[in-house]
């Protein structure tokens, strides 16, 4: 399942992570991340994979169900930040 802009935005919100922090961690410009989250142009698949991997490493799980897409912060992860 490809990472969506809304999932990325939701994951950052759950982690209380500024755009600049995520952008720096995955090696992209903050403006590129902002454009993606505003549902502008999507980064390359490899960049989306780096974003997803980084957020998952911070305790995020991306969900896809019949009802739609979602984001989950594993229990205890927010406090360990």
Average pLDDT over every residue of 46-68 = 96
pLDDT for residue 62:
97
Name every residue whose Cβ is closer than 8 Å to that of residue 29 and which is 6 or more positions away in sequence: 23
Domain count, the chain: 1
Q: Which two tokens stand for residue 38?
A: 């505003």
Is 0.85 topped by the overall pTM?
yes
pLDDT for residue 33:
97
**CATH code of residue 60:** 1.10.260.40
pLDDT at 72 over 90: yes
Name the 3-class secondary structure at 68: strand
5 with 36: CB under 8 angstroms? yes
Structural domain boundaries enclosing 43: 5-73
User: Is residue 27 in a domain?
Assistant: yes
Name the 3-class secondary structure at 39: coil
């Amino acid at each position: 399942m490809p990472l969506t802009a809304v999932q990325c935005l939701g994951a950052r919100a759950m982690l209380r992570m500024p755009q600049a922090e995520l952008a720096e961690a995955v090696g992209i410009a903050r403006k590129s991340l902002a454009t993606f989250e505003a549902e502008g142009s999507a980064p390359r698949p490899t960049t989306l994979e780096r974003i997803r991997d980084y957020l998952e490493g911070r305790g995020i799980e991306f969900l896809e169900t019949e009802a739609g897409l979602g984001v989950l912060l594993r229990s205890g992860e927010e406090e360990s930040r």
